Amino acid sequence: MVGALGKMGREVVRAVAQTPDMKLVGAVARSQLGSDIGEVLGLGSLGVEITDDLSGQLLRLSQRSSRGVMVDFTHPRSAFEHVRSAIAFGVRPVVGTTGLTPEQVERLRDLADKSGVGCLIAPNFAIGMILLQQMALQAAQYFDHVEIIELHHNRKADAPSGTALQTAQRLGQLGKAFNPPVRDSGTESSVEEKELIPGARGGISGPNIPIHSVRLPGLIAHQEVIFGGMGQTLTLRHDTTDRIAFMPGVILGIRKVLQLQGLVYGLEQVLS
Ligand code: NAD
C-alpha cells in the first residue's frame, strides 16, 4: 500500500487486513517509518513496518509472489513514477490517485500493454458513482444541455476531480454536441455571455461540458450532473459520506487486476 498513512491509504490497509484471502505485505509512507502499520492504525500488529523504500518493497514482492499488487493513493506528482516502477517489477498497480494527465495514462498503458502486466486506474471506486455515470449516459440521450458540479474537501490537490473529468469524457464518447449556443428570443443571434469574474462559468471540458469545482472543509467527495431541457431539469447526485464507500471497489479492483493483461481505466470496465 503506497500512501498508507493518507486518508484513503488508512482505509485500504484496514479493508485489506479484514479480507481473509488477502495479505498486506508492505506499507509505504513518509512518516512513522519503522512503526508497525497495524499498531499505528489501532488494528494490532500486522507485522508490516512502515517504510519509504518503494523500490525495495516492489523488489521483495516480485521475488515473493507472482500475484503481487501495489495499491496507490498518493499524489498526482508521484503516482506516475510509482506505477512505472511497479510495472517494471511485474507488480500490478491498482491506482486510485487522481490527477494523472491523459498523456501519462497513455504512457502507462503503453508500458503495461507491452509487458502484459495488469494495471487498473480508477478515478472513482464508489459503486454509486459508477451508477450515476451510467444514468447520466442514459439521460444524455434526451437532454442536450448539461453541466457538472463536483464538491470535495479542501485538501484535494487536483481540480476538477478525476471523476468529473471522466464523467464528461464518457458523455463526450456519445458523440453529441452538448450545450449548443442558445438563441436570443426573437432574434437569430446567440445569447452573448460575459463572465464578470473569470471562471464563473466553470472550466470547459473536452465535450463542451462546464465543470464547476467547490473545495470546502466538511465535504468528502460529491458530484452533481445537471441536465436542462425545455421546462425541466434533471439532477443526478452522488455523495460519499465516508471513505469506506470506496473499499468494496478497491478490494474488487485488487482481485480483478490479477486477471488483467495491460491497462484498464475505470472501475466500470471490470464490474461484471
Ligand atoms: P491524503 O493526502 O490524505 O493521502 C495521500 C498520502 O500519500 C499522504 O499521506 C502522503 O504523505 C502520501 N504520499 C504522497 N506522495 C508519496 C510518496 N511519494 N511516497 C509515499 N507516500 C506518499 O489524500 P487522500 O484523500 O488519501 O487521497 C489520495 C489520492 O486519492 C488523491 O489523488 C485523491 O484525489 C484520490 N482519491 C481517489 C478516490 C477514488 O475512488 N479513486 C477516492 C478518494 C480519493
pLDDT in tens, 158-169: 999 999 999 999
Q: Quick one: which atom of ligand 1 is closest to the CA of 81?
A: 18
What global pTM score does this model have? Answer: 0.92
99 lines ligand 1 (CB under 6 A): yes
Distance of CA 111 to the CA centre of its chain: 20
Query: Please, what sign has the CA dihedral across residues 35, 4, 52, 2?
Result: positive
- Residue 231 is placed in which grid cell? 421546462
Separation CA 227–CA 179 (nearest Å):
10
With cell 486506474, the residue in question is 121
Q: Give, using CA atoms, the residue closest to atom 15 of ligand 1.
A: 74
Q: Specify the pLDDT at position 2.
A: 98
Q: Exposure pattern of 161-192 as b/e (b: 16+ CB <10 Å)? A: bbbbbbbbbbbbeeebebbeeeeeeeeeeeee
- Count the neighbouring beta carbons within 10 Å of the beta carbon of residue 196: 5
Task: Give whole-number Cα distances, 35 to 8, 40, 241, in Å.
Answer: 19, 7, 30
For the stretch 209-243, pLDDT in tens is 999 999 999 999 999 999 999 999 999 999 999 99
Q: Specify the pLDDT at position 191.
A: 85
Q: Quick one: which atom of ligand 1 is closest to the CA of 28?
A: 20
Q: For strand 210-215 and strand 145-152, is the pairing parallel, antiparallel, or unpaired?
A: parallel
- Residue 247 is placed in which grid cell? 473499499
Q: Give, using CA atoms, the residue closest to atom 1 of ligand 1.
A: 6
With contact defined as beta carbons under 8 Å apart, do 40 and 105 qualify? no
Give catalytic residue positions.
Answer: 152, 156
For the stretch 12-69, pLDDT in tens is 999 999 999 999 999 999 999 999 999 999 999 999 999 999 999 999 999 999 999 9
Residue type, 86: A
Q: Give, using CA atoms, the residue closest to atom 25 of ligand 1.
A: 7
80 lines ligand 1 (CB under 6 A): no
Q: Specify the pLDDT at position 85.
A: 98
Q: Give, using CA atoms, the residue closest to atom 40 of ligand 1.
A: 124
122 lines ligand 1 (CB under 6 A): yes
96 lines ligand 1 (CB under 6 A): yes
Q: Specify the pLDDT at position 167.
A: 97
Ligand 1 pocket test, candidate residues 13, 55, 74, 244, most atoms within 8 A of CB: 74
Ligand 1 centroid – CA 50 distance (Å): 16
Q: Quick one: what percent of the chain has pLDDT higher than 90?
A: 94
Give the chain's mean pLDDT: 96
Distance of CA 56 to the CA centre of its chain: 26
Ligand 1 pocket test, candidate residues 10, 73, 241, most atoms within 8 A of CB: 73
pLDDT tier, 193 (very low <50, low <70, confident <90, very high otherwise): confident
With contact defined as beta carbons under 8 Å apart, do 269 and 254 qualify? no
Q: Three-state SS for 148?
A: strand
The residues, any chain, with a CB within 8 Å of residue 142's CB and separated by 6 or more, are: 227, 229
Ligand 1 centroid – CA 103 distance (Å): 20
Mean of pLDDT values over 139-146:
98
28 lines ligand 1 (CB under 6 A): yes
- Residue 119 is placed in which grid cell? 494495471
